[in-house]
Amino acid sequence: MTLTIGTKAPAFTLPATDGQEISLENLKGRKVVLYFYPKDDTSGCTREAQDFQALREDFAAAGTEIVGVSPDSVKSHDKFRTKHGLDFPLASDETKAMLEAYGVWVEKSMYGRKYMGVERTTLLIDRDGRIVRIWNKVKVPDHAKEVLEAAKALHS
């Protein structure tokens, strides 16, 4: 499924770090940065998480929650958060149902080998649960800053 700007973000409920459960319904009324990443503790994913963490207070000041999502287990997410001092939730989609609903579980290719994996993608969702911005095939450097600027500019 291809998501488009202006449509409702697909509903989800996922287990998350610190024994939490994250759902789109529980985030209503707040702006949400939903970022999808391939794997805990790999270089690009660590850098992306650290960049969002460094701007955490600025996102909070802009009334915006940050939620990271990958197919890794909650146990893996908890270790990753502790190791890198992250204080925003990481949700686990081991079944990949939510990743598929958001269109980020895709066929990838490396060295001629095809496999399924997460395409690094970020969505900005408004207070009503509508998608207002989509970043596909994210390049990590300066990405969190760009997302922050978009969140600040979103007044709804």
Strand partners, 123: 34, 134
Counting residues of the chain whose pLDDT is more than 70, the rounded percentage is: 99
Q: What is the mean pLDDT of residues 143-153?
A: 95
pLDDT digits (tens, 9 = 90+) for 29-38: 999 999 999 9
User: What pTM does this model have?
Assistant: 0.93
Angle between helices 74-84 and 43-54 (to 10 degrees): 60
Counting residues of the chain whose pLDDT is more than 90, the rounded percentage is: 87
What counts of helices (H) and strands (E) characterise the chain? 6, 9
Contact 126, 30 (CB under 8 A): no
Q: Which two tokens stand for residue 11?
A: 């509903």
Active site residues: 45
| Distance linking the first and last C-alpha atoms of the chain | 26
Can you give the pLDDT at residue 149?
A: 95
Q: Is the pLDDT of residue 1 over 60?
A: no
Can you give the pLDDT at residue 109?
A: 87
Confidence of residue 156 (pLDDT cuts 50, 70, 90): low
H/E run at residue 58: helix 56-61
pLDDT digits (tens, 9 = 90+) for 33-87: 999 999 999 988 999 999 999 999 999 999 999 999 999 999 999 999 999 999 9
Cβ-count burial 41-60 (b if 16+ within 10 Å, e if not): eeeebbebbebbbebbeebe
3-state DSSP: the chain helix, strand, coil percent, rounded to 5? 35, 30, 35
Q: Is the pLDDT of residue 98 over 90?
A: yes
Strands 21-23 and 13-15: antiparallel
| Of 17, 22, 19, 15, the residue nearest 81 (C-alpha) | 17
Q: Is 133 helix (H, G, I), strand (E, B) or coil?
A: strand
